[in-house]
């Protein structure tokens, strides 16, 4: 198996004859080149931006300075591949909305952006000179030593050669001794370079690759996107409801009016009978459509809120239902909607499965918590796992950080509670039904 | 039965109509014209409705509930507002769905007379619709049978004290029918209907007052139940 990083490569025999020492050199040398360029860029932006800040032209330059971590981070992640075969995940999120503004906002809010800026400062100020130092001592010095005899022959005319510009060698044995020492140092230097490159790569990865700390951010992002999904679902229900109301429903009513007027003019006989039949059919279609629309999203919930909508749902239940819900205001739409559909599902189950003779819907809003409870005097034994539709509703409630709990011992009674933390959307005395 | 008798027996009414669906608005204008009423203004939103009523001083207003700009209950708001500003202005509210909450709010405006709340589906039954419109214009109260049906299903305490026949009578009272009309519908004598109504009023503990007022109170009691 191929080693995946310079560390693994150093732990194996044959490191010196593999490509890894050269990779380490390549990483460090390119680090010097990129680092010095970044240093120049940062100094230029800081000087120009700071100098021009008074005439406003400088401010965008300073802003650009703050974001230099983004391109540098990208280059550094690419460069990291030289000595590290592990993938380097990009720590940045993809903006949800298009456009430069949204992109800048997302980037500014990300911790990764500021970690990268920290890396830029470290890179431009400390790391690239260190890279240079390691390359000099780990590669250039041993190479110069190795080259001593050649220097003596080529430049010194066979009489003398300067070793590292500080020490003059004047005879051949010393020169060859230097050369042998150089080869040994070169071998040692390969390990020094390997260690330096490995440490450098580790530090870089720590600062500019996505970390598990980002997991928390991703969980938050996931929770938010789940919330957005539910909102979108809710908005879509409203849109469908409105489209049906404004479209098909109005046309059907207009049709029954046309048929009604036609009946006025039709002489009694088969034609009038047919018209009456047609009108009756249109009326049935209208009634079915009305029930369908009501099931998608009841208008009374939008107009009057949870209390009235629950009273309406109670009216539609065959088993008599007492409603004792006390809500002197409106709650957030998503909360009202979730609680309403839970109550509807519970009442449907009361009608279908419970064998109850009475049911009760109670609850209210206290201490930032909406509590709604549906109880019946039926036979109990309700199992949420048996596709009663409660599972989906529990998911919907949990998106709002709420809880759905069912108590239904065999023999009854059954009680379904929903609790959702929320604040008043608005307190209103308008249109409160007296139920 | 033909509708000619309706044409003949009822005075022509000047109507202001508010309905945002053009198709249905045209249909209603045609229908009302066909039975001899005059639509003096047909508008598409609540603001235009208020303006048209101020301009034309109609005999009766017919309005949809859900209208621009919010497509919520603008028509109902406008109706309540109109009745507060002009007590006695008859208003018939039409809706795609009927709801006790809306009916209660509408009936609470003014003294509960000259007001109606019907499902739009009823419009197709031209004869009954025109009849209901006439009753509203004449100061009567008309509540959609669907609302009454919702109420009667509740079987709450006061209702449980009524006999099934009394509930039937009450349902027809809520539709704004006269004793004679109720008697014909139930195929009983008018005296029997009077007896049932007496029973209803007694069981509801309604104070003795003039008959019409008590009838309205009886209906209101149930709408608020």
Which residue, of B86, B111, B143, is where some domain finishes?
A: B143
pTM greater than 0.80: no
Of A261, A298, A302, the CB nearest to B30: A261
Domain A300-427 listed as CATH 3.30.565.10: yes
- Rounded distance, CA A353 to CA A105, Å? 53
A134-148, A159-173, A284-298, A344-358: lowest mean pLDDT where?
Answer: A159-173
Q: How confident is the model at residue A434 (pLDDT cuts 50, 70, 90)?
A: very low
Contact (CB, 8 A) for B173 and B149: no
List the single residue in A with minimal CA-CA distance to B23: A254
- The partner residues of A161 in beta bridges, in order of sequence, read A169
Q: Mean pLDDT throughout B135-161?
A: 75
The ipTM of this complex is 0.70
Alpha-carbon gap: B97 to the closest alpha carbon of chain A (Å): 7
Could you report the per-residue pLDDT of A199-252, keeping only the tens digit for each? 999 898 888 887 665 666 677 778 888 888 888 888 888 889 888 988 899 999
Query: How many angstroms separate the CA atoms of A47 and A29, rounded?
Result: 27
Q: Which of B39, B65, B124, B131 to mutate to test the interface with A (most CBs of A within 10 A)?
A: B124
pLDDT of residue B44: 92
* Residues B29 and B128 both lie in one domain: yes
Residues B128 and B95 in one domain: yes
Dihedral through CA B53, CA B56, CA B61, CA B62, nearest 10?
Answer: -100
- The pLDDT tens digits of the residues spanning A79-97 come to 988 888 887 878 887 777 7
* pLDDT classification of B33: cutoffs 50, 70, 90: very high
Q: Which of B3, B96, B144 to mutate to test the interface with A (most CBs of A within 10 A)?
A: B96
Angle between helices A306-315 and A333-349 in degrees, nearest 10? 20
Among A254, A304, A314, select the one facing B101 at the smallest CB separation. Answer: A304
Which positions ≥6 away from B211 have C-beta within 8 Å?
none
pLDDT at B2 over 60: no
**Neighboring chain B residues of A302 at a CB cutoff of 8 Å:** 72
What is the mean predicted confidence (pLDDT) over B149-161? 64
Q: Which domain holds residue B118?
A: 4-143
Provide mean pLDDT across the span A340-361: 88
Same domain, B134 and B179: no
**Average pLDDT of span B56-69:** 91
- Domain chopping of chain A, boundaries: 6-211, 222-296, 300-427
Same domain, B160 and B75: no
Query: Cβ A299–B30 below 8 Å, yes or no?
Result: no
If pLDDT is split at 50, 70 and 90, which confidence band does A254 have?
A: very high
Residues of chain A contacting B34 with CB distance shorter than 8 Å: 261, 264
How close B105 gets to chain A, by Cα (Å)? Answer: 6
Contact A256 B71 (CB under 8 A): no
Question: Strands A161-163 and A329-330, how do they pair?
Answer: unpaired
Q: What is the pLDDT of residue A433?
A: 39
User: Residue B212: its pLDDT value, please?
Assistant: 65
CA pair distance A216, A220, nearest whole angstrom: 6
Cβ contact (<8 Å) for A294 and B97?
Answer: yes
Res. B224 pLDDT band, cuts 50 70 90: low
Query: Does A231 or B94 have the greater pLDDT score?
Result: B94
Q: How confident is the model over A6-20, as a mean pLDDT?
A: 87
User: What pLDDT was estimated at residue A95?
Assistant: 77
pLDDT of B58 above 70: yes
Express as a percent the part of chain A with pLDDT over 90. 27
Q: Per-residue pLDDT for A142 more than 80?
A: yes
Give chain A positions within 8 Å (CB) of B158: none
Note whether B138 and B162 are same-domain residues. Answer: no
On whether the CB atoms of residues A105 and A156 are closer than 8 A, the answer is no
Q: How far is B93 from chain A (nearest CA, A)?
A: 15
Section A99-124 average pLDDT:
87
Which of B100, B121, B143 is the endpoint of a domain?
B143
Asked if B54 and B73 sit in the same domain, the reply is yes
**Virtual CA dihedral for B107, B173, A308, B122, nearest 10 degrees?**
-90
Q: Is B34 within 8 Å of A261 when comparing Cβ atoms?
A: yes
Residues B75, B10: one domain? Answer: yes
What CATH number is given to the structural domain containing B195? 1.10.10.10
Q: Write down the pLDDT at residue B13.
A: 93
* Mean pLDDT (chain B, rounded): 82
Nearest to B100 among A257, A315, A320 (CB): A315
Rounded to whole angstroms, the Cα distance separating A260 from B124 reads: 5
* Minimal-distance CA residue of chain B relative to A302: B72
pLDDT surpasses 60 at B225: no
Confidence of residue B136 (pLDDT cuts 50, 70, 90): very high
Based on the fold, state whether residues B33 and B106 are members of the same structural domain: yes
Phi then psi dihedrals of residue A164, to 5 deg: 50, 30
Asked if A282 and B3 come within 8 Å (Cβ–Cβ), the reply is: no
Q: What are the structure tokens assigned to B91, written together?
A: 């208003």
Test the B interface: residue of A288, A315, A340, A360 with most B CBs within 10 Å:
A315
| Sign of the torsion angle spanned by Cα atoms B64, B67, B71, B74 | negative
End residue of a domain, out of B120, B143, B166 = B143
Task: Mark yes or no for CB contact A260/B125 under 8 Å.
Answer: yes
In this prediction, residues A140-153 reach a mean pLDDT of 85
Cβ neighbours of A250 in B, within 8 Å: 21, 23-24
Structure tokens belonging to residue A202:
């580790």
The residue-averaged pLDDT of B58-62 equals: 95
Q: What's residue A1's pLDDT?
A: 67
Contact: B105, A431; criterion CB under 8 Å: yes
- Closest residue in B to A241 (Cα–Cα): B71
CATH number at residue B73: 3.40.50.2300
Q: What's the pLDDT at A212?
A: 61
Report CB contact under 8 Å: A260, B154. Answer: no
Statement to judge: residues B152 and B134 lie in one domain: no
CB-nearest partner of B124 from A242, A283, A435: A283
Name the residue among A251, A303, A312 with its Cβ closest to that of B72. Answer: A303
Nearest to B66 by CA among B53, B54, B76, B80: B76
What's the N-to-C CA distance of chain B in angstroms? 36
How many angstroms separate the CA of residue B59 from the nearest CA in chain A? 22
What is the percent of chain B where pLDDT is above 70?
85
B89 and B116 fall within a common domain? yes
Of the ranges A102-106, A122-126, A316-320, the best mean pLDDT one:
A122-126
Q: Could you tell me the sign of the dihedral formed by the alpha carbons of A226, A230, A231, A233, in that order?
A: positive
Does B3 have pLDDT greater than 90?
A: no
- Given a cut of 90, whether residue A429 has pLDDT beyond it is no
pLDDT, residue A177, reads 86
Nearest-CA distance from B220 to chain A in Å?
11
- For residue B4, name the pLDDT band (cuts at 50, 70, 90): very low
Chain A residue closest to B106 (CA)?
A431
Average pLDDT of the residues in A274-285: 93
Q: Are A261 and B121 within 8 A, CB to CB?
A: no
pLDDT tops 80 at residue A291: yes
Say how many domains are in chain B. Answer: 2
pLDDT reading at A385 higher than 70: no
CA distance B191 to chain A (A): 33
Alpha carbon of B63: minimum distance to chain A alpha carbons (Å) = 14
Pick among A251, A253, A318 to test the B interface (most B CBs inside 10 A):
A253
Q: Both B61 and B99 in a single domain?
A: yes
């Amino acid at each position: 198996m191929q080693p995946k990083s310079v560390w693994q490569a150093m732990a194996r025999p044959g490191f010196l004859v593999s490509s890894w020492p050269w990779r380490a050199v390549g990483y460090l040398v390119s680090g010097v080149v990129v680092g010095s360029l970044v240093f120049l860029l940062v100094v230029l932006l800081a000087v120009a931006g700071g100098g021009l800040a008074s005439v406003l032209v400088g401010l965008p330059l300073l802003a650009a300075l703050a974001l230099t971590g983004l391109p540098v981070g990208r280059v550094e992640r690419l460069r990291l591949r030289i000595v590290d075969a592990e993938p380097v995940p990009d720590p940045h999120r993809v903006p949800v909305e298009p456009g430069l503004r949204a992109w800048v906002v997302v980037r500014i809010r990300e911790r990764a952006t500021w970690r990268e800026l920290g890396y830029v400062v470290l890179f431009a100020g400390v790391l690239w000179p260190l890279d240079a130092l390691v390359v000099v001592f780990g590669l250039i010095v041993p190479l110069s030593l190795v080259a001593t005899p050649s220097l003596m022959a080529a430049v010194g005319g066979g009489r003398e050669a300067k070793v590292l510009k500080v020490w003059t060698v004047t005879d051949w044995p010393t020169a060859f001794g230097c050369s042998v020492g150089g080869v040994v140092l070169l071998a040692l230097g390969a390990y020094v370079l390997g260690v330096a490159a490995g440490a450098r790569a580790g530090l870089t990865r720590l600062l500019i690759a996505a970390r598990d700390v980002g997991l928390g951010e991703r969980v938050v992002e996931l929770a938010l996107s789940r919330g957005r999904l539910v909102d979108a679902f809710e908005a879509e229900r409203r849109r469908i409801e409105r489209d049906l109301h404004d479209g098909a429903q109005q046309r059907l009513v207009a049709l029954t009016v046309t048929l009604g007027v036609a009946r006025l003019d039709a002489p009694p006989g088969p034609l009038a009978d047919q018209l009456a039949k047609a009108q009756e059919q249109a009326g049935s279609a209208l009634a079915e459509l009305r029930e369908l629309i009501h099931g998608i999203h009841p208008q009374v919930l939008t107009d009057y809120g949870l209390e009235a909508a629950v009273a309406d749902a109670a009216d539609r239940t065959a088993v008599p239902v007492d409603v004792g819900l006390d809500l002197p205001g409106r709650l957030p739409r998503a909360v009202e909607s979730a609680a309403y559909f839970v109550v509807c599902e519970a009442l449907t189950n009361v009608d279908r499965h419970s064998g109850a003779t009475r049911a009760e819907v109670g609850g209210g809003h206290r201490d930032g918590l909406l509590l709604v409870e549906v109880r019946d005097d039926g036979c109990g034994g309700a199992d949420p796992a048996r596709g009663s539709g409660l599972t989906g509703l529990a998911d919907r409630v949990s998106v709002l950080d709420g809880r759905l709990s069912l108590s239904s011992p065999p023999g009854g009674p059954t009680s379904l509670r929903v609790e959702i933390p929320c604040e008043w959307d608005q307190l209103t005395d308008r249109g409160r039904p007296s139920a | 039965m033909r509708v000619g008798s309706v044409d003949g027996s009822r005075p022509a009414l000047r109507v202001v109509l508010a309905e945002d669906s053009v198709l249905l608005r045209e249909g209603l204008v045609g229908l009302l014209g066909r039975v001899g009423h005059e639509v003096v203004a047909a508008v598409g939103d609540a603001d235009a409705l208020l303006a048209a009523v101020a301009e034309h001083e109609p005999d009766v207003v017919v309005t949809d509930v859900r209208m621009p700009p919010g497509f919520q209950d603008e028509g109902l708001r406008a109706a309540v507002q109109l009745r507060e500003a002009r007590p006695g202005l008859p208003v018939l509210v039409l809706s795609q769905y009927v709801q006790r909450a809306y009916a209660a709010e509408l009936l609470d405006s003014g003294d509960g007379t000259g007001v109606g709340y019907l499902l739009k589906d009823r419009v197709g039954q031209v004869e009954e619709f025109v009849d209901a419109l006439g009753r509203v214009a004449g100061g009567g109260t008309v509540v959609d049978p669907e609302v009454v049906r919702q109420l009667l299903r509740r079987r709450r305490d006061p209702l449980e004290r009524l006999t099934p026949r009394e509930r039937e009578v009450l349902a027809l009272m809520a539709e704004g029918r006269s004793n004679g009309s109720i008697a014909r519908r139930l195929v009983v004598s008018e005296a029997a209907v009077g007896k049932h109504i007496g029973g209803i009023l007694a069981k509801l503990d309604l104070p003795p007052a003039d008959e019409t007022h008590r009838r309205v109170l009886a209906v209101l009691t149930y709408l608020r139940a």
